């Protein structure tokens, strides 16, 4: 992967899909859970946003600060909020930090740090972006499933399907 342009664009499209989903959710939706102890929709979105900063804190700390600024000093992995504006800001800050970190590591030729010895995207820094796309898609699927299980109307679920349009443009 010598030219990550397409992957960077896919990551930006992933951000637009996340923003679309967040815009479509109601405050009641953010409180929905499976009733079995699983995360609420707000906790899933919080996890999506915070995970970027959590990874960057370990792999490329110089780029983590903006992604961590909204946690108020809480542990990045335990942080959550149901505030829609904060969720959107966290996702945006994390996305920008991820793009900047990957670009910096590509430019320098240096791999990400690996303090835990887990081969942190050792094959190529841009794989972090692909990982986050897949990670987000997994959690978006969980969110839509929670909405379906809690009785969202077919029309509402159809509206959420419009996220696919964002991938094709």
pLDDT in tens, 98-156: 999 999 999 999 999 988 888 888 889 999 999 999 999 999 999 999 999 999 999 99
Q: Is 124 annotated as a binding residue?
A: no
Length of the chain: 169
Query: Is the pLDDT reported for residue 35 higher than 70?
Result: yes
pLDDT at 28: 95
Residue 136 has, within 13 A of its CA and on its CB side, a CA count of: 27
pLDDT at 73: 63
Ramachandran sector of residue 81 (left: φ over 0; alpha: ψ -120 to 50; beta: rest):
beta
Q: Is 127 annotated as a binding residue?
A: no
Q: Is 135 annotated as a binding residue?
A: yes
pLDDT at 74: 63
pLDDT at 75: 64
Architecture field, domain 5-168: Up-down Bundle (1.20)
pLDDT at 79: 85
Mean pLDDT to the nearest integer, 37-65:
92
Residues ≥6 apart with Cβ < 8 Å to 89: 70
54-97 pLDDT, tens digit each: 899 889 999 988 878 887 766 677 788 999 999 999 999 999 99
């Amino acid at each position: 992967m010598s030219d990550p342009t397409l992957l960077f664009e896919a990551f930006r499209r992933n951000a637009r899909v996340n923003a679309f989903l967040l815009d479509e959710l109601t405050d009641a939706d953010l409180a929905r859970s499976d009733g079995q102890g699983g995360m609420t929709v707000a906790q899933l979105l919080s996890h999506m946003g915070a995970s970027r900063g959590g990874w960057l804190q370990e792999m490329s700390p110089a780029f983590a600060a903006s992604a961590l600024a909204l946690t108020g000093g809480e542990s990045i992995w335990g942080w959550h909020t149901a505030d829609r504006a904060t969720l959107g800001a966290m996702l945006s800050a994390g996305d920008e930090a991820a793009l900047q970190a990957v670009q910096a590591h590509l430019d320098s030729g240096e791999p990400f740090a690996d303090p835990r010895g887990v081969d942190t995207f050792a094959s190529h820094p841009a794989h972090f972006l692909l990982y986050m796309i897949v990670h987000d898609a997994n959690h978006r699927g969980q969110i839509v499933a929670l909405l379906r299980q809690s009785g969202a109307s077919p029309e509402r679920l159809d509206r959420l399907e419009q996220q696919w349009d964002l991938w094709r443009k």
